[in-house]
Structure 1
């Protein structure tokens, strides 16, 4: 074996610091990706809640129509305000799960065609605006307006 000179033994302090800097930058990138994935998971959770809220509004419209059928034996389209009718109001039920939830999300477009718009305020994602979902629902029946 040949003897090594003093310049070839191990790493220098500068090389170790450069390696530590490269490793630190990589770890910062991993932390940023983790943050983005958590934000995406939270946004997906809120979209799921918005979808459930819209389905609940649709079912409240169906329930109002069924109640009118039971009482009068005619299919009549309920008014948009029937979503916040008797019992627990729609917005009271869902506003605890979606911050800044819009109130009375249902609008009657045409003969028994409704647009259910669910929007809420999301402060975590700056610059994206308020998320909004619109669902179109068509029920059988007549508006009763002639």
Structure 2
């Protein structure tokens, strides 16, 4: 018998039982695949958290627009016209830059007239920063607001 065989065989002819190198490598491979799965889930969770954060900012931006519409109603005693040059300039010069620091690629004309007097459709859109910079990476949030008609029938 060689020295190697003597290690494997005990007195009485029984072999030692234990893990072979192949079994240990297979166990290590299974563990590595599991850890890759956990890392993938963590990455997806971080992306979802970021998208939720951006949607929250979009909600705040839409509510800010609603407050600006209310301010326009209070200043003029009439529902604001989002197609007017003053309103578009305010959106381009004030609103979009203010919210653009939080939502990259935010749209500059987010408000349109809805289905009736003093009904507005607010649509805030932005570029999803963690996706590829194509059209499919655009996200949007829609919000409908109805202001009371002052001096008219409700």
| TM-score, normalised by the number of residues in structure 1 | 0.81
How many Å apart are 1:61 and its aligned residue? 0.5
Q: Determine the structure 1 residue equivalent to 2:35.
A: 27
Q: Determine the structure 2 residue equivalent to 1:124.
A: 130
Greater RCO (CA < 8 Å, at least 6 residues apart): 1
Q: Determine the structure 2 residue equivalent to 1:114.
A: 120
Give the count of matched residue pairs.
135
How many Å apart are 1:140 and its aligned residue? 1.2
Structure-2 separation of matches of 1:67 and 1:39: 42
Structure-1 separation of matches of 2:57 and 2:13: 69
> Any unmatched runs of 5+ in structure 2?
1-9
2:106 counterpart of 1:101:
yes
Give the root-mean-square deviation of aligned CA atoms: 2.6
> Any unmatched runs of 5+ in structure 1?
70-75
Q: Mark the structure with the bigger radius of gyration.
A: 2
How many Å apart are 1:125 and its aligned residue? 3.2
What's the secondary structure of 1:134's corresponding residue? strand
Q: Determine the structure 1 residue equivalent to 2:148.
A: 140
Judge conservation of contact 2:104–2:129 (CA < 8 Å) in 1.
no
